[in-house]
Chain A
């Protein structure tokens, strides 16, 4: 489904990605592990078309992202859901409105939004919180709303960049369980994380990235640096 072929990305002289080769198959759950600054976020940015690689190719369903026009990038981003450590919810909008906003932006009708949002909130276990504002929710709940928002246009791939970074153990565990559930329902998940215990608990494919290079890959692996 997604292939990185010899992808290199530089910031000035620093190589954030150095000849990265990686294949992400449909339906996989991959934990991308590495220290801060190892290149995890850059890899995500290249995949979303936010940054352009200087060398190599990133193919999504055999389409080279570098060859996409700027006006086509939004449609690529609708295929890829994103979740971040800093959550990025609208503070003055309820859980329902945050998800509705994402759907509105992509042109869904009001009826469709009214029908879909409660279902998505139910999927992430927050049906009862649809009228709550972000500051009335716990960190884990906020991240689940962010996941719900990412799922609102049924992406084929979910990118989660340190989604548990700001959460306590219990909340982090809940978020990971949710990601696993989403993966079981058919969405491919790429999770970038530091959290050793969580990766070891997931027991799925682990890819280690160090100084921009993929140094280790293992199916049903454990956290390894």
Chain B
């Protein structure tokens, strides 16, 4: 019973100073929009780095007709290198089948392949290094090492410059974003602090009477906490509504651009509900901090 009355009084507090309440909600909304935008930028950049990192590998093409045992020996030797994380072996037959499967809908290529008497493709090793910086050394080691006579060519695309650049962007987003979020968080705390202080002032008589007739401390404080909960809830809902088009239209396009093989809806890199929950928790923390400060300073119990 008391709990319901506390909630009801919280709504009354919100409604009585509706313009102030709206101002507090709007400031909190702006803070959340900045927070969410930076979070999405961070996720996107981070995701781009991972995507590019995953596409980096060293491909070793062997000379056609080299015995499989020999290739597997080379594979074991590469695998033994502590800098190497994984080695994938694709035999000449497998490469041929993969190629056929990839172009099965292309009648010209299928017809050309049927004309062939032997497999023109060579066996390959795909090598993943533990660190991006190890790729050039691994690549050079294979080109000039003891197995160079068996190797047709070594392919390595150096994406480190792109990754470095993205890494710098990521660090900038973290530094600039944290600063911006901190500034707006302080503004939001101050605005909510003042709103709650004004509500306390407006309800001075009621609070005094509540105290006199024996209301518990939580019965008196509860409505102000409910009020700050409402600021958090409404600002999260508004921010969420603003981000629906971003999630529906913009993000799939950006993600498709970064990595065309990924479908944004199937891969959980941008989870709307997760973002909403995070925003709500952030808003709640900010508004509860300011409410507690206002209560401590102005609400005598």
Q: How far is the CB of B225 from chain A (nearest CB, A)?
A: 16
Q: Does B206 contact A (CB under 8 A)?
A: yes
The answer to whether A78 touches B217 (Cβ under 8 A) is: no
Q: Does A14 contact B (CB under 8 A)?
A: no
The answer to whether A106 touches B214 (Cβ under 8 A) is: yes
The answer to whether A105 touches B213 (Cβ under 8 A) is: yes
The answer to whether A88 touches B214 (Cβ under 8 A) is: no
Tally the A-B contacts, defined by beta carbons under 8 Å.
47
Segment at the interface with B among A35-43, A67-75, A185-193, A210-218: A67-75
- In the complex, per-residue mask of B196-219: 1 if CB is within 8 Å of any chain A CB, else 0: 000000000110111111111101
Q: Does A63 contact B (CB under 8 A)?
A: no
Q: How large is the interface on A (under 10, 10 to 19, 20 to 34, 35 or more residues)?
A: 20 to 34
Contacting residue for A90 out of B1, B206, B211, CB 8 A: B206
Q: Which residues of the partner chain B approach A77 to less than 8 Å between Cβ atoms?
A: 211-214
Q: Which residues of the partner chain A approach B1 to less than 8 Å between Cβ atoms?
A: 107, 109
Question: How many angstroms from the CA of A91 to the CA of B214 in the assembled complex?
Answer: 20
Contacting residue for A71 out of B206, B211, B217, CB 8 A: B217
Interface residues of B in 216-272 (CB under 8 A from A): 216-217, 219
Question: Contacts A88-B205, A90-B205 given: A74-B212 contact, CB under 8 Å?
Answer: no
Q: Which residues of the partner chain B approach A102 to less than 8 Å between Cβ atoms?
A: 209, 213
Q: Does A82 contact B (CB under 8 A)?
A: yes
Q: Which residues of the partner chain B approach A106 to less than 8 Å between Cβ atoms?
A: 213-215
Question: Contacts A104-B5, A107-B1, A107-B2 given: A88-B209 contact, CB under 8 Å?
Answer: yes
Q: Which residues of the partner chain A approach B34 to less than 8 Å between Cβ atoms?
A: none
Contacting residue for B210 out of A70, A105, A107, CB 8 A: A105
Question: How many angstroms from the CA of A74 to the CA of B220 in the assembled complex?
Answer: 11
Contacting residue for B208 out of A88, A91, A150, CB 8 A: A88
B216 to chain A: closest residue by CB? A74
Q: Does A149 contact B (CB under 8 A)?
A: yes
Interface residues of A in 67-108 (CB under 8 A from B): 70-71, 74-78, 82, 88, 90-91, 101-102, 104-107
The 9 closest A-B pairs by CB, nearest first: A78-B214, A77-B214, A102-B213, A105-B215, A74-B214, A107-B2, A74-B216, A105-B210, A82-B212
